[in-house]
Structure 1
């Protein structure tokens, strides 16, 4: 890395001559390295603090309380999080739910500043100067292996955040540990036989301890946090049948092995979507105290990875994450808590200092590495293959500037699900018309019946800003005729007679309405409409048969409505079959955990109002539960890909990981209850598993760091460039 460091020092001290295209002049540009972005093992290589062993946390450092498990033969961070709680918190004095007969009185480990860390590493050799042996007291009083070469940068000692804990890998590994343990996947679960032996030594959970039944046999009681075989198969079947919106996630069905009741080969983005959106639905059959904790964990990562962060909310998350981890410690065995389950306690602080995670996680770099791998055609000449592919790519890109505009090239290709302006904007028109969008599929033409014709015309008038003054005039007119009329009566009168009144008013020469567009609008739309099965707008791709939001309903038709006269005025309407929005009858909402459900057998029947403007629609996905909740559908809200706040389009060729727009302020993050999980953790309805004593001779062989399969997978050879994010159900 020495050449890189030399260039960084030169950029800081001397700068480099750069051309400013806006001012059309040269200037000396200076640059600095803000931080490094890498996975956790690389964190140790770049920082000089080894991330392996009992002192593996690079933030807690020598103040870490991690310890080695005797039977599982691995490092555990169990009961390392009560020290982060306030001194008067009841968890600190709890002797039964954590380590038995242990209370917590210590302060949280201090986060050392850069000058203090420099004092510790100033005497250590650089990587090229160190020998094969680690410094004295390595693994006992410290985990320093070398002095990082980044300390030679003149500004490195002033940084608040030098190395980022990668949220992508942390979230993935936390999810995989939770998922494998809850699904009780053989060889991957953290609830092993050795884990139960460690549990007996460390915790006061006698009901989960192995029971000796003689003849060299033990019984391993069934834990309530692990699903039964039938529940696992139901979840796998549910995942296999999921058809998520286009661009939302990859095809999770490829990961399902129904006979074995497990999922395999999930990539990082699959875990990202499952953790934040699908986990509350998939694990709904767990006991409610356990389900609530897992939903809180899901919301923590959802809000942490939002595109917009609130500093005060991050401070709340800093206070809440120790409580959340302590609640997990009351459920899962000590072997569950490796370094990945400990790292989330430091993530809110890094988000508060470094900003939103989309600038500090590994997704773009993993994608770039994948693109480099695709360029390698000759594995015996890796570098030459990449160079040759780059030359071809740069040459073709340069040549594309001289192609006619009608030729589609990689440079001019529009991103996925981006609106194309179908209307003619050469003439100013009303706001509801000629809205940019793109129709797809085979179109059909038919005539509207009178009921639909009246409903479409009324809805267009009520949602056209230019018609609002005339609507106010009509309301005043109704109030003069009947001063005692209620709002409901006025609304009924508008629905029945406003289009007719509007036509008479606009066409009456005495009212002096000269705008030709208003006069064309007053005549109403044509009876003949054109219908499509697919329409792309607002960054979403809508299919007939999909379900939309607020009201929640099923999209049944996409029609283009055209009005008479010139200029041509067209607009797209969605015809929807709305669900009943009556609280607790047709729709129910869990206010604390943000779970919204609708009853699929009930429909909105208060009025015939099936149409909305296409630009008003937002896409949601409705899914049944794997088990139970008959007739109820859970709602998964989606966000348009390649867009950020205020519908600003991100002009990028590659898809970005799914993120919510902002911290939504759910009460789950504002008020994580400090409940004690005192419910029994043994499932008495299911018999225990018989265990042979000879199985304890081998240590648990579950990797501490789960290999990331975002780039490639042994079990899946799909084209990652598209399948990671694209819905495979597209016709």
Structure 2
């Protein structure tokens, strides 16, 4: 320096920058002195000893994390207390040792959090990179768009500046938040992965297919694996989530009620079986889900990607199974469905889960300022019925499709319909003295039911069964014997999940997905009632099967024709039902616009999502069919609707689940007395076991696939480069991970997904009279020009009734 400038001791510059004295005075007036700057060693000749100098330097390097949230973020990400001094002053006579690689990344991020974007700027380099990553994630910007945005800003900012030159530089800096990803080469046919002892192989040990293309080093196929440990450790590194991760052990529970899996019998049984694991409330309970999707849509080329997602159950209900806490762990490559070979790609995950169970990983709890050994356990899996077979190894097709009844199933094949039916398979679940057991007229002719429900096999019994008949894992030698044994016993393989030492002690290992079961039941009911061509279960073959079984002679065919059934609507009633659906109006966001799903010519509903079927099944079916169907048909359909509605409540009671376990059997028997045998496929049978699963595992919305389906829709939208599907998903996921972590430290005025306001909120903070009812005090944004009109008599009565039944003010006069 030429001596005309001095170090600036303000909070922002912190003695790291040189300015003229007038500029320094201005900075001090606006921003104040740097924290703990008592010894002015930079502004006069200090005659003190080196100890004083060292003390002064250490104090000046203390971080004011309250004024800079991004320094606080760096400390949290690396599991350090914000009050901890990251380094100490070393006198210049000694040569300091270079930090290890991880520490160097920490210092680089810390320096970026302190470095101004340009001289005198109020924003740091790290905060700028964090905002760029968040914008790319939330608006799904392409990498090229981010590169051009960085170039545009760099050209217009004062020189010199620390604006990143593109997305690559931003991503490279944010990688220090410990978000690793591994690329593992796979066999072209999915026989094996080149991992551990097979890492150096050049061809598949099963089929002999080459590992690389031509003479190069490009593999034919590769999978992506995102290590789970760093993701779990980061949950305790943030003050936003660290305390919430202990909610499962600290919340107050009401006796007999379940609002979270922690209140369930499966959770409590696991704690009793593994007391050492349960003694540390910060150990993590996980659920695994997988399903496939086509990134190119139905009209594009056939390509199936199977992401494997894990989510922790330690969090409270309002955080559990939300997007920021869903960890993409494995991307199983396409283009085909892996089927039973999915275990090949789960090997790294199972190995890490075993390590997390036996040894754990060191973690730092920022809320308690404690180091501890973090361990984790997998509670169960969540999937649709075909993926249930892939994960469990039990065949979910044919006569043994039910994973509870197993070999003791009473399902049989229809001679004319050529389908497997579960007709007359539910009387065995009734009480011993129930009259339906002795009914020879409405069920299979001249047959009474005296047997009881099939025995339930626990995990140890199933594992003994698999070991007794020597079932193999799909990647073991001799796995070809599985196909021969499966025809006899119903198992396709020995699932890789049995490698987990605690898996056999789990009460529930694989959840039946209520979402798909409810949707399939609704589709069968609606298509049969509306007599939809090609989809109805009541057809000529179904009538011939009735005649062969000797039941309901009034429906038998005659001269190639047959009478209309009492459970089928005529055209007039069909039009009436569709007209009612067309004029229905729902609360904002409650369901899609059903009027767009109506096909009046074919008397059908098309394009309905699973949630639309969920709403129709539970809310609309009893109302819409009450005046259109005979009471004997409408009553059991209403009972089935009420069963699904009460089953999917956010808070369930043990007494109610025991009651529904008995009532659903009677309801299904009533339906067997109405609909033909072809109506009862495996989806109509599985509701028998749903109440039991809810009784054991807790509320079903923690065990269905709704949130994972929505998350996979998000992954599908992240595919920007069609030629690199897996890489696109991987890069987008890493960006979202960094974005979610950084948004906790954004200033309150920064808009991000975590701070989105309701779309109808005008944000005006308008005032309301004190005597106004609470339901009229919400701030909303009007659409279009306002107009005034008087309510009709029916509207006035509806509003009056709603206020009396739903407002707190009206309850005071009860």
Q: Same fold (TM over 0.5)?
A: yes
Query: Cα gap change, 1:13/1:286 in structure 2, threshold over 3 Å: closer, same or farther?
Result: same
Aligned counterpart, 1:569: none
Query: 1:464-475 maps to which residues of 2 (within 5 A)?
Result: none
Offset of residue 241 of structure 1: 2.1
SS of corresponding position for 1:438? coil
Cα-to-partner distance string for 1:304-347 (whole Å, 9 max, x where unaligned): 00000010111011111111110010000011000000000000
Aligned counterpart, 1:253: 595
Partners of 2:657 and 2:379 in 1: how far apart?
A: 21
Cα-to-partner distance string for 1:550-574 (whole Å, 9 max, x where unaligned): xx973xxxxxxxxxxxxxxxxxxxx
Q: 2:422·2:685 contact (CA, 8 Å) conserved in 1?
A: yes
Partners of 1:338 and 1:408 in 2: how far apart?
A: 49
| Residue number among 664, 668, 674 corresponding to 1:331 in the alignment | 674
Q: 1:256·1:263 contact (CA, 8 Å) conserved in 2?
A: yes
Query: Cα gap change, 1:375/1:579 in structure 2, threshold over 3 Å: closer, same or farther?
Result: closer
Query: Cα gap change, 1:413/1:291 in structure 2, threshold over 3 Å: closer, same or farther?
Result: same
Offset of residue 387 of structure 1: 3.1
Partners of 1:295 and 1:14 in 2: how far apart?
A: 52
Q: 1:372·1:386 contact (CA, 8 Å) conserved in 2?
A: yes
Aligned counterpart, 1:72: 417
SS of corresponding position for 1:439? coil
Question: RMSD value over aligned CA atoms?
Answer: 3.3
Q: 1:40·1:165 contact (CA, 8 Å) conserved in 2?
A: yes
Offset of residue 378 of structure 1: 2.2
Partners of 1:612 and 1:440 in 2: how far apart?
A: 26
Offset of residue 65 of structure 1: 0.3
Partners of 2:771 and 2:799 in 1: how far apart?
A: 31
SS of corresponding position for 1:36? strand
Do structure 1's residue 205 and structure 2's residue 552 form an aligned pair? Answer: yes
Aligned counterpart, 1:227: 569
Higher RCO (CA < 8 A, seq sep 6+)? 1
Query: 1:127-206 maps to which residues of 2 (within 5 A)?
Result: 127-129=474-476, 131-132=479-480, 134-136=482-484, 138-140=486-488, 142-206=489-553
Partners of 2:625 and 2:426 in 1: how far apart?
A: 25
Aligned counterpart, 2:191: none
Aligned counterpart, 2:781: 440
Considering fraction of residues, name the structure with more strand. 1
Cα-to-partner distance string for 1:507-527 (whole Å, 9 max, x where unaligned): xxxxxxxxxxxxxxxxxxxxx
Do structure 1's residue 300 and structure 2's residue 643 form an aligned pair? Answer: yes
Q: 1:421·1:437 contact (CA, 8 Å) conserved in 2?
A: no
Q: 1:250·1:270 contact (CA, 8 Å) conserved in 2?
A: yes
Offset of residue 579 of structure 1: 7.6
Task: Give aligned pairs, total.
Answer: 462
Partners of 2:783 and 2:708 in 1: how far apart?
A: 39
Offset of residue 194 of structure 1: 1.0
Query: Cα gap change, 1:419/1:127 in structure 2, threshold over 3 Å: closer, same or farther?
Result: farther
Cα-to-partner distance string for 1:179-202 (whole Å, 9 max, x where unaligned): 111111001111121111111111
Offset of residue 420 of structure 1: 6.6
Query: 1:411-426 maps to which residues of 2 (within 5 A)?
Result: 411-415=754-758, 422=765
Partners of 2:734 and 2:506 in 1: how far apart?
A: 38
Partners of 2:684 and 2:775 in 1: how far apart?
A: 51
Offset of residue 118 of structure 1: 1.2
Partners of 1:227 and 1:13 in 2: how far apart?
A: 61
Partners of 1:442 and 1:163 in 2: how far apart?
A: 47
Query: Cα gap change, 1:89/1:258 in structure 2, threshold over 3 Å: closer, same or farther?
Result: same
Cα-to-partner distance string for 1:212-261 (whole Å, 9 max, x where unaligned): 2xxxxx11211010111222222222222222111211111121111211
Aligned counterpart, 1:352: 695
Do structure 1's residue 5 and structure 2's residue 347 form an aligned pair? Answer: no
Q: 1:9·1:153 contact (CA, 8 Å) conserved in 2?
A: yes
Considering fraction of residues, name the structure with more helix. 2
Cα-to-partner distance string for 1:617-676 (whole Å, 9 max, x where unaligned): 99xxxxxxxxxxxxxxxxxxxxxxxxxxxxxxxxxxxxxxxxxxxxxxxxxxxxxxxxxx
Partners of 1:137 and 1:546 in 2: how far apart?
A: 71
Q: 1:174·1:340 contact (CA, 8 Å) conserved in 2?
A: yes
Q: 2:718·2:729 contact (CA, 8 Å) conserved in 1?
A: yes
Aligned counterpart, 1:318: 661
Aligned counterpart, 2:108: none
Partners of 2:474 and 2:550 in 1: how far apart?
A: 42
Runs of at least 5 residues in structure 1 that lack an aligned partner in the other structure: 213-217, 445-530, 534-543, 555-575, 582-597, 599-609, 619-731
Aligned counterpart, 1:342: 685
Aligned counterpart, 2:68: none
SS of corresponding position for 2:751? coil
Aligned counterpart, 1:633: none
Offset of residue 279 of structure 1: 0.4
Offset of residue 390 of structure 1: 3.6
Partners of 1:432 and 1:264 in 2: how far apart?
A: 41
Query: 1:551-590 maps to which residues of 2 (within 5 A)?
Result: 554=795, 576-577=796-797
Moved more, 278-287 or 88-97: 278-287
Aligned counterpart, 2:610: 268
Q: 1:440·1:532 contact (CA, 8 Å) conserved in 2?
A: no
Partners of 2:464 and 2:666 in 1: how far apart?
A: 33
Query: Cα gap change, 1:441/1:74 in structure 2, threshold over 3 Å: closer, same or farther?
Result: same
Runs of at least 5 residues in structure 2 that lack an aligned partner in the other structure: 1-345
Q: 1:443·1:532 contact (CA, 8 Å) conserved in 2?
A: no
Q: 2:657·2:695 contact (CA, 8 Å) conserved in 1?
A: yes
Aligned counterpart, 2:580: 238
Query: Cα gap change, 1:103/1:578 in structure 2, threshold over 3 Å: closer, same or farther?
Result: closer
Offset of residue 401 of structure 1: 7.0
Offset of residue 359 of structure 1: 0.6
Partners of 2:443 and 2:806 in 1: how far apart?
A: 56
Q: 1:97·1:203 contact (CA, 8 Å) conserved in 2?
A: no
Aligned counterpart, 1:374: 717
Cα-to-partner distance string for 1:101-132 (whole Å, 9 max, x where unaligned): 11101111011111111111122111213545
SS of corresponding position for 2:541? helix
SS of corresponding position for 1:32? strand
Query: Cα gap change, 1:279/1:29 in structure 2, threshold over 3 Å: closer, same or farther?
Result: same
SS of corresponding position for 2:455? coil
Q: TM-score, normalised by structure 1?
A: 0.59
Query: Cα gap change, 1:341/1:396 in structure 2, threshold over 3 Å: closer, same or farther?
Result: closer
Partners of 2:700 and 2:516 in 1: how far apart?
A: 12
